[in-house]
Homo-oligomer: A and B are copies of this chain.
Amino acid sequence: MRRLLRIEESDSRRSTSRNRNREQEDILVVGQPAELSLSNLAPSDAVFVTIDVRGEIEVKGNNNELIPTQTPLRLQEISSEIHLLARTFSDELRDRELELTFTDENQDFLRNERIELTAVRICLDVDADRDGIIEENNPQKAEWTWGANGHGAILLVNSDQDIDTSDRRHDTHNNYISGLVDLKDFSFMVVRKVGPRYLPSRYELTLSVNRETAGRIRIYDELDRNGYELIGPSRRTARIRDTDREILLAIEGLSYPDEDFDGLLEITLNLTDDEEIIYSDRVVFRVAPWIMTPNTLAPRTVYVSRLSDGFNEQFIEDLRKVVGLANAQLETAPFELHDDDPWMQDEMEIGYTQAPGQLMYVVLDSPRDRGLDDFPELKLLGTDFGFVTRRSRHRATKLDSFGNLEVSPPVTVNGVNYPFGRLIFGGTRSEIFEDSRRMLRVLRDFFYAQKIQAPIEIFSDWLSVGHIDEFMTFVSAPTPKGFKLLLANTGKCYEILHRLRNEGHGELFLREGKRFSRGAADISISEVLDDEKLAADNGRFQEHINWNREVLKRELGLGEEDIIDIPGLFEDDGYGRAETFFPNMVNMIVLNEHLGIPKPFGPKINGDCQFEAYVRGVLEPLGLVCHFIDDWDPYFRGRGEIHCGTNARRQPFSQKWWEVEAIV
C-alpha cells in the first residue's frame, strides 16, 4: 500500500495565512514508509532543500538510499519523492518532526514546511505458525500454505453444541458465545495498537471483511461478555474500541468448505484517517475441513439401535463382546431416537475436524430421512461433537445413505501421497441402468471441497440397496501398505460350493434352520449350483465388482496381493439389481483386529461352517480375529448386515491435515 503524507493533498486548504512557514500534522505507521513529493512542495525558484528530522525517523530516497539531513541538498540531485520510515512507535503525540527548508540558488530562504508526526504501530495477529499460540506480527500471516512448514491460521466451524439445550441448535446458529466451553472452539486474533493512548479523533481502527467472508464467520470482542457479534453475516465492518491494552478477538467459522467456498477467509485491520484507509494489516484463515476415519483407526464408540421387543437384544450382546475386546464402548440408541430404524450406518458418517490444539468430532447427517433422522442431533451433537448436513431440492435415493460412503486407509498412488486416505462413494455407470441413481450433488460437492481425502466415485447402483459396503471393506494387515481391501466375490462362493459337491456334500444346506417370512430359508448346495439364472445373475454382478476392483486398484495404487476375496452370493431383486442371498460377510464391522462378521449360515461339515472356515483361513493369518455374529433376523432379513446396522466413532489421525505437503 502506497501511503502519501497529507501535506501534499491539503496544500492550499490547510496552508497558514503566511504561506512561507507552514506547520502540519500527520501519522506514521511503524514499519510502513510514507511518501512525500519534494517537487510538489518546492517553490518554483527553489534549488536547494535542507531536510531535518526530530526523533526516530529515517529519510530515504526512491532507491531506499538514506538521504542526508541537516545539509542543503540540490533538488536536482535527489529523488523528487522522499520516504519517511519510523521503526518505533511514539510514546507521546507529535514526538517526531520533519522540517523542509527550501532555498534558492544563493541559498536564500524561500519557504519552510514542518510536519509534526506521531508514529503508531498497528497489528492484527493470529496463530500463523500453527502452534496454538498467537505470534507477534508473523510476516507470513497474510498467506496460507500447506505443509509441515506451512503458515496461515486455521479456524474451526463451530458446529458443536456447548450448552445443553432442549432444541437442536448448534453453536453456529447462535450469534453470541455460548459460555466458556464454547470459547474453546474459537480461534483468536489480537489487535495491537501501540503509541499514544488516544489518537486525534479523525483516526480510527476498523476491522473489515468482504461480503463472502462475512457470511462464513462471526467475530466477537470477547471481553464484552454479553456482546453480540462484531463482524458476522449481517456486519462486514466494525470499529475497534479504544484501549491501551491488546484486544483479543474470538472468531468462529460458520461453514465448511464447499463448492462455492474454498475455505480461505481474509480479515483486515484498517487505520482510517477521516474514513480514508491509510494502512491495512491483513490475516488469512483456512476453515478446517471435515475428515473421515478409515477402518484402520482405532474405534472409540460403536453405535447401534436397540430395537423394540428385544428384536436385536442377542445381537447387541454378541456385538458388545467384540466391541469390548477392541477396547471400545458400545452405545445403544433407545427407541425414541430410532423408531425401529436399524440402519445406523446409513444415517450418518462420524468424522472430525481439527485445528492446532482443537479437536471436534463432527457427524455428517445424511439427507436420508428415516427413523434415525434425529439421532445425530439429539444424541451426538454436544460439547466437542459437531454436526453438519447438506440439504437438496432433490429427493434422496438409497445411494445417499452412508453405507455408500467409506474412506480408504492412507495410500500412495503413483507417487502421490494421501496420508488421510481417499474418500470412496458409490454412483452409477450410465450405460447400465435407465433408472440410474447417483449420490446427491450437494453431497458430492461437499466431499470434493474438503480436499484432504480426494474422493473416488465408484459403482454401487448395481445393488438394490446401492451401498458400497455390500461389496467392499478395508482391514488392517501387517503389510507395507498396512491394509487389505476385502471384496465380495461370487466366483469364490461358487468355487467353494462346487468343491463341496465334488466332495459329496451336495445335499448340505445353506441358510440351514433360518426362515424368511415366506417360509424356511434352507437351500442345498446342489439346488444353488443347479440354478442357472442365479449363476448368470451372479456372473453379471461379479463383473460389476470386477469393474470396481479395477477402479480401486488404480485409484488406491493397489496390486492383486492387496486384495482378499470374500465369498458372497447375490440374487436379482426382480429389477436387475442385486440383493444378498445369504448374510454377506464382507459387510462387517472392523474394530482393530476384531471383525464382527455376519454369520453366513453356510454348509457345515462336522459342525464347521465352510464359509466361516474359508474366511478364517484367509483373514486369521493377518492377525485378525473373526467373530461371526448372527444378524439374520434383525438385519439380513431387512436387507442389511452388521456394518449397515452399526456406526463407529474412531480415533482421529495423528497427523495434522495442514501438514499435508500438497493437495491434489
Contact = CB atoms under 8 A, between A and B. Distances in A.
Contacts of A393: none
A222 B132 contact: no
17 contacts: A30-B329, A87-B325, A88-B320, A88-B323, A91-B306, A133-B359, A163-B223, A177-B180, A179-B223, A179-B225, A180-B183, A180-B222, A180-B250, A183-B183, A184-B248, A245-B382, A245-B383
A184 B180 contact: no
A207 to B, nearest CB: 17
A181 interface: yes
A640 to B, nearest CB: 22
Contacts of A225: 179-180
Q: Which 4 pairs from chain A and chain B are nearest by CB?
A: A132-B357, A87-B324, A357-B357, A180-B222
A243 B194 CA distance: 47
Q: Which of A87, A306, A323 has the most CB of B within 10 A?
A: A87
Interface in A154-177: 163-164, 177
B181 A248 contact: yes
Interface of A: 30, 55-56, 86-89, 91, 121, 131-133, 136, 163-164, 177, 179-181, 183-184, 188, 194, 222-223, 225, 243, 245-246, 248, 250, 300, 306, 317, 320-321, 323-325, 327-332, 356-359, 382-384
A272 B225 CA distance: 38
A95 B358 CA distance: 36
Contact of A131 (B194, B245, B248, B357): B357
A326 B254 CA distance: 40
A118 B291 CA distance: 35
Contacts of A164: 243, 245
A329 B181 contact: no
B357 A327 contact: no
Nearest to A320: B56
With a 10 A CB-CB cut-off, give which of A88, A132, A383 has the most chain B CB atoms.
A88
Contacts of A327: 87
Contact of A223 (B181, B356, B359): B181
B331 A91 contact: yes
A184 B133 CA distance: 11
Given A56-B324, A133-B358, A246-B383, 6 more contacts: A56-B321, A88-B320, A88-B328, A88-B330, A179-B225, A180-B222
Contacts of A177: 180
B132 A356 contact: yes
A55 B318 CA distance: 9
Contacts of A306: 91
Contacts of A243: 164
